[in-house]
Homo-oligomer: A and B are copies of this chain.
């Protein structure tokens, strides 16, 4: 059981004592998912906040016409969940699915509520994590409004240089909010530097 990435990650935000680490480790579960398996499905109640040790997930919404819209990709050292469903314990709006074989650490809702009481410092940890996630989300809204698809694609490549090779084009298009055909056209334009 490899806890190190989680503890290293936590220690960037707060300092846990050895006893606190032990309390925390007693309440987590390691879990392995295969490629294409779902961690959360739209309509389910999201039971866990998940810290990724290895692998990659996509969080997406499927509308009535069956079109997928990807809100985020998550990789090693990041979290994945339907946070809205998790915090309210109501049915999820989003699906979370593994794009690769994924190894993660799960905090169930009840265990995390207990941990907040046993180790109040964790409130600070998660406050800081969600603050950063919120800021990134707001910036994404602005990019979607004020930039063209080509500009958004270039920024995506800059921000996630390693992810692009791991993810099919049509998912990147979905994340950018365009069709796979138009992404294909953009890439062609970039090759012929237009």
Contact = CB atoms under 8 A, between A and B. Distances in A.
Taking residues whose C-beta sits less than 8 angstroms from the other chain, chain A's interface range is 20 to 34
A139 interface: yes
Copies of this chain held together in the complex: 2
Given A133-B134, A144-B177, A139 B93 contact: yes
Interface stretch (A3-11, A25-33, A119-127): A119-127
A74 to B, nearest CB: 13
Interface in A90-137: 93-94, 116, 120, 123-124, 126-128, 130-135, 137
B123 A127 contact: yes
Contact of A124 (B61, B123, B131, B137): B123
Contact of A146 (B61, B72, B83, B145): B61
A141 B144 contact: yes
Nearest to A137: B137
A78 to B, nearest CB: 14
Contacts of A63: 146
B134 A61 contact: no
Contacts of A134: 83, 130, 133-134, 137
A67 interface: yes
A123 to B, nearest CB: 4
Given A63-B146, A71-B141, A123-B127, 18 more contacts: A67-B146, A69-B142, A69-B145, A71-B138, A71-B142, A83-B131, A84-B139, A93-B139, A116-B124, A126-B127, A127-B127, A130-B130, A130-B134, A137-B138, A140-B141, A144-B144, A144-B145, A145-B177
